[in-house]
Structure 1
Amino acid sequence: MNIGVDIGGTNIRAGIELGGAITRQSKISLENKESLSSTLSQLMELIRPLTKYPVQGIGIGVPSVVNVDTGMVYNVMNIPSWEEVALRDIVEQEFNLPVSINNDVNCFILGEHRFGLARQFKSVVGMAVGTGLGSGIIIDNNLYSGNNCGAGEIGMLPYRDSILEDYVCNRFFRNVLQMDAWEAHNAALKGDLSALAAWEEFGVHLGAVVKTVMYTYDPEAIVFGGSIAKASRFFKNSMVKSLEDFAYPRSIRNLTLLLSENENIALLGAAALMHKN
């Protein structure tokens, strides 16, 4: 058994992985984010009750660049006090348990590969589509983080007048419809023509992301997760159609596109970081 922790800019979740499922799950809303000591204290108090069980270690996913060798995290999104934090050392000293830390989207795809939809694939890319666009990569059954834990930052690549992320995250709907993706989803459910058109355009842009992933990594499968992926019924057709001009049609025919189903998959992936220890 290992503890999995998923740190977000608003909430932190934690639970124990047991038999490929999460038990003893709990969540807090992170407060006083400008204070390093306060946020760390909140994290410790969330984890502490779980350490009473016979767990072997703690895996933590964070929305930031991570030095996976030292457990140092940098510039954590939406937590301004976490500019440079020796998180692994701090948590290990607090609980006297081994700790492993990685990027949150890496944990997402690791969870899908070890426990979820991607178990049968040797190479797979996970795409978290929501507030931003994040990617995690499995190559030859191993998580690939890159030298600086920055591998898979597809959203930062140039696209049209900006970068890909501007066209395939919540920001796109704010720019096009002056509403967030959740509101755009609800509008589409009610048959709003402007919202439906925006989702169709969104699918074309997401298709550009799929092409980029295929040209760079050529995985067996891509797993979509994140809040926006739940609206796939409104963008999947245009996304798939946009792939018709891909230079290698056979590669697209061999590609499997999946939609994440387990809301605890990032927790499972974080816990799976400890399997190497």
Structure 2
Amino acid sequence: MRTSLIAAVDLGGTMTKIAFINMHGDIVVSWQVPTDVSDHGKRIITNIAQEIKKKLLELSISKDQLLGVGVGAPGPFSETGVMYTAVNLGWENDYPLKALLEQELGLPVRVENDANCAALGEMWKGAGGGAKNLVCVTLGTGVGGGVIANGQIVRGAYGAAGEIGHMTVMTENGFICNCEKSGCLETVASATGVVRLASQQLEATSKASLLRTKQSFSAKDVFEAAKMGDEIATFAVDRCSSYLGLALSHLGNTLNPDVIVIGGGVSKAGEPLLQAVRRKFNEFAFTPVRNSTRIDLATLGNEAGVIGAAWLIKQNNDLV
């Protein structure tokens, strides 16, 4: 009996990750290719289809072994698979991603926001441990998020639910965000936010700091300096953790998930960040929430997106 597989795609503005994944969530093969955003991204869909066909041929896998294609992409979607906006891909608004890829491959396609796919991946095979109520927060260049309730992604009226990075955590004198609001979580809990907090403190005081010896520094440098007891770096990490813990407490009080999963590059700071966030979460969370919602680090790394995209197809087949 031939094994049924799922083609999973994590479509990013720079690189596209593709994988064949079995129904147990195990990656059989994965690879990545540059995303061609030239000419308004008109070759992206064709390139993805060609990559899948080429890999099938290379591995001597029949196309009828593929149950379908799950795709995570950076933008909000309609229920019919139309991408409302795709700034990083060059596409026009209301881009029919699902319909076009189905036309190219002749396979069922399901599409979802990439942060939502990461949440689904962590729910299925990662830190969520199968929990059906989960929030996933990704701390990278920005702050993204996905909300799962009763095993289903919460999309909202316009597909924009889960925009955790744009929760306001600084109501006065907040930093300006790329979304043009001020005081967003993204401005203080992303990699750039941590650097911003440290830079602001360096300007506000003349205290010695390891960070002053660097012409420029990253969030990783800030966390490493904090581990060494650097006062300014510690201040920045504490503020980041405080804002993040506050935001997560609001999510906890509203949703009471089984678990809040923290992923992305900033999460590599590990246990020191996690413990600080937990302390602030416990300070602000409603007691029943504090006692029932746990906060853990993500475990899937950059595989979360493709595993979550595969879940879209698995779930659909489980319901048939």
Would the TM-score normalized by the shorter structure come out above 0.5? yes
Q: How does 1:50-65 map to 2 (within 5 A)?
A: 50-52=55-57, 53=61, 54-65=65-76
Q: Structure 1 residues 197, 42: CA separation in 2 closer, same or farther (over 3 Å shift)?
A: farther
Alignment of 1:95-114 (within 5 A): 95-114=105-124
Change (3 A) 1:95 1:244: closer
User: Which of the numbers 190, 193, 201 marks the counterpart of 2:239?
Assistant: 201
Question: Percent of pairs identical after alignment?
Answer: 26
Structure 1 residues 99, 204: CA separation in 2 closer, same or farther (over 3 Å shift)?
same
Q: Secondary structure at the match of 1:93?
A: helix
**What is the 5 A alignment of 1:16-95?**
16-18=20-22, 19-52=24-57, 53=61, 54-67=65-78, 69-81=79-91, 83-95=93-105
For residues 1-277 of structure 1, the aligned pairs below 5 Å read 1-18=5-22, 19-52=24-57, 53=61, 54-67=65-78, 69-81=79-91, 83-160=93-170, 161=174, 162-178=183-199, 179-188=217-226, 192-246=230-284, 248-263=286-301, 264-275=303-314, 276-277=316-317
In 2: Cα distance, 1:236 partner to 1:24 partner: 32
Seen in structure 2, the aligned counterparts of structure 1 residues 145 and 40 have a Cα distance that, compared at 3 Å, is same
Single out whichever of 243-252 and 123-132 deviates more from structure 2. 243-252
User: Would the aligned equivalents of 2:13 and 2:37 in 1 still touch at CA under 8 Å?
Assistant: no
Structure 1 residue 25 displacement after superposition: 0.5
* Contact persistence 1:26–1:46 (CA under 8 A): no
Structure 1 moving runs of 4+ over 6 Å: none
**Could you state the TM-score of these two structures normalised by the residue count of structure 2?**
0.78
Counterpart code for 1:20: G
Question: Unmatched 5+ residue regions in structure 1?
Answer: none
CA offsets, 1:102-123, max 9 Å, x none?
Answer: 0111111111222223234231
More strand by share: 1
Distance 1:237 1:267, change over 3 A: same
| Rounded Cα–Cα distance in structure 2 between residues aligned with 1:230 and 1:76 | 28
1:249 CA drift (Å): 2.3
Q: Give the SS at the match of 1:89.
A: helix
| Equivalenced residues, count | 276
Larger radius of gyration: 2
C-alpha contact (below 8 Å) 2:146/2:162 kept by paired residues: yes
- The answer to whether the 8 Å contact 1:63/1:103 transfers is yes
* Deviations 1:33-92, CA, capped at 9 Å, x for gaps: 45322333433333333455321100000111111x221113224223354321111111
TM-score scaled by length of structure 1: 0.90
Distance 1:116 1:237 in 2: 20
Task: Tell me the distance in 2 between the aligned counterparts of 1:134 and 1:200.
Answer: 21
Q: Determine the C-alpha separation between the residues in 1 that align with 2:44 and 2:227.
A: 38
Letter in 2 for 1:200: D
* In structure 2, distance between residues paired with 1:197 and 1:46: 47
The letter of the residue matching 2:313 is: M
Cα distance in 1 for residues equivalent to 2:225 and 2:50:
40
